C-alpha cells in the first residue's frame, strides 16, 4: 500500500515538471524516420540500447525496470546486468520502454504533454477494449463477434507497436540532446519581471536539465536501492549536457 502511494505521488510530481520532450510523439517519424522504423521492427533490441545509453553505458548502475517496480533490485542484476536487461526487454517490453521514459523524465524534469498523454491513453483504452471484445466473443460464441474481436486485436497491436516505436524514438532524440549531438543549446535568458513566477506558488524540486548527476541514486525512488555509483556522472568522455541550466 505504501509503495502504491509512493508511485502515485511520483506520477503526480511528474505533472509539475517544467521541461518538455524535445520532440512530441506526433513529430518523431518526421524527426528521425530511420530510427522509428528500427524501433518498430526491432523494438526489444532498441529498448536494450536505449536503457544502456540512459545509464551512460555503465551497466553496474542497472536495476530491473529502472527501480520503478517492486521486483527491482531483487532479480540478481548486480551479478549479470546484461542478461537481466535482455530478459526485461524481451519478456517485459512495455515495462522496459516505460521505465526508460520515467528514468529520463525524473532525470531532466520532463513532463509529458497533453497530446502525448492522449496518444498513450488511446493506446491503453484500445487494448482494454480489444480484451473485452475477445472475452465476450469467447462467452457468446458468435462468429461475427469473434471476427470483430480479431480485427480489434490487430488494430490494438498495430497502435501499440507504433506508439512504442515513436516513444523510443522520442527517448533517443532526447538523449541526443543530452549528449550534445545537436550542438550547444542557447542559454535561457531571465524572463521579464511580469512573467516571473509568484513567490507564493509551490515550486517543484530542482532536478532538471543538468542541475544534478544523471540518475545518480542519490535519492531513493520507488523500489530502488539507494547506493551511490562509483565516480561522478556523466562519466568522463561525455560532452557537456545540451540542456539549459
More confident residue, 223 or 50: 50
Confidence of residue 212 (pLDDT cuts 50, 70, 90): very low
Is residue 190, in this structure, part of any structural domain at all?
no
What integer is the mean pLDDT of 96-115? 91
* Angle between helical axes of 43-54 and 93-108 (0-180°, round to 10): 30
Cβ contacts of residue 159 below 8 Å, gap of 6+? 122, 123, 126
Residue 5 within any structural domain of the chain: no
Question: For residue 26, what is the DSSP state?
Answer: G
pLDDT for 190 equals: 43
Taken as a whole, the chain contains a residue count of 245
Whether 218 is in a domain gets the answer no
Region of poorest pLDDT, from 28-37, 80-89, 141-150, 222-231 = 222-231
Domain count, the chain: 1
> What is the spatial distance between Cα 127 and Cα 49, in angstroms, rounded to a whole number?
27
Reported as a pLDDT band with limits 50, 70 and 90, residue 11 is low
Confidence of residue 5 (pLDDT cuts 50, 70, 90): low
Distance CA 149, CA 122 (A): 17
Percent of the chain past pLDDT 90, that is, above it, reads: 44
Mean pLDDT (whole number) for 111-138: 90
Q: What is the pTM for the complete model shown?
A: 0.72
Residue bearing cell 526508460: 100
Helix (H/G/I), strand (E/B), else coil: 111? strand
pLDDT tens for each residue of 218-234: 333 333 433 334 444 56
Kindly report, residue by residue over 190-211, the tens digit of the pLDDT: 444 443 333 344 444 444 444 4
3 state SS of 35: helix
Given a contact cutoff of 8 angstroms between Cβ atoms, the answer to whether 178 and 108 are in contact is: yes
- Judge whether 228 lies within some domain: no
**172 lies in a domain?**
yes
User: Cis peptide leading into 211, omega within 30 of 0?
Assistant: no
- Residue 1 pLDDT more than 90? no
**9-13 long-range contacts, Cβ below 8 Å, gap at least 24?**
10/106, 10/221, 10/222, 13/204, 13/205
Question: Is 234 part of any domain?
Answer: no
Residue 137 has pLDDT above 80, yes or no: yes
Residue 20, phi then psi, degrees to nearest 5: -125, 165
Average pLDDT, the chain: 77
Q: How far is CA 230 from CA 61, 203, 215, in A?
A: 9, 31, 13
Please report which confidence band the pLDDT of residue 112 belongs to, taking 50, 70 and 90 as the band edges. Answer: confident
Grid cell for residue 95: 515495462
- Asked whether the beta carbons of 115 and 22 are under 8 A apart, the reply is no
Residue 227 included in any domain: no
Q: What percent of the chain has pLDDT over 70?
A: 68
* Distance from the Cα of residue 69 to its chain's centroid: 14
Task: For 144-165, write each residue's pLDDT tens digit.
Answer: 888 888 999 999 999 999 999 9
pLDDT of residue 236: 59
122: domain range? Answer: 14-182
Amino acid at each position: 500500500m505504501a509503495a502504491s502511494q509512493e508511485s502515485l505521488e511520483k506520477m503526480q510530481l511528474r505533472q509539475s515538471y517544467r521541461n518538455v520532450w524535445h520532440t512530441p510523439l506526433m513529430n518523431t517519424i518526421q524527426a528521425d524516420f530511420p530510427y522509428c522504423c528500427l524501433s518498430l521492427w526491432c523494438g526489444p533490441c532498441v529498448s536494450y540500447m536505449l536503457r544502456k545509453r540512459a545509464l551512460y553505458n555503465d551497466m553496474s548502475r542497472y536495476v530491473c525496470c529502472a527501480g520503478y517496480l517492486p521486483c527491482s533490485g531483487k532479480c540478481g542484476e548486480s551479478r549479470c546486468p546484461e542478461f537481466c536487461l535482455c530478459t526485461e526487454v524481451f519478456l517485459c517490453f512495455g515495462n522496459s520502454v516505460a521505465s526508460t521514459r520515467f528514468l529520463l523524465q525524473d532525470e531532466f524534469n520532463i513532463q509529458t504533454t497533453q497530446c502525448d498523454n492522449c496518444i498513450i491513453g488511446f493506446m491503453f483504452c484500445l487494448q482494454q477494449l480489444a480484451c473485452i471484445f475477445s472475452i465476450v466473443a469467447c462467452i457468446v460464441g458468435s462468429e461475427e463477434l469473434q471476427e470483430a474481436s480479431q480485427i480489434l486485436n490487430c488494430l490494438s497491436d498495430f497502435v501499440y507497436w507504433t506508439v512504442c516505436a515513436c516513444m523510443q524514438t522520442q527517448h533517443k532524440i532526447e538523449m541526443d540532446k543530452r549528449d550534445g549531438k545537436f550542438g550547444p543549446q542557447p542559454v535561457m535568458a531571465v524572463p521579464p519581471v511580469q512573467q516571473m513566477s509568484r513567490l507564493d506558488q509551490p515550486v517543484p524540486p530542482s532536478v532538471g536539465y543538468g542541475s544534478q548527476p544523471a540518475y545518480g541514486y542519490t535519492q531513493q525512488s520507488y523500489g530502488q536501492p539507494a547506493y551511490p555509483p562509483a565516480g561522478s556522472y556523466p562519466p568522463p568522455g561525455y560532452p557537456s549536457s545540451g540542456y539549459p541550466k
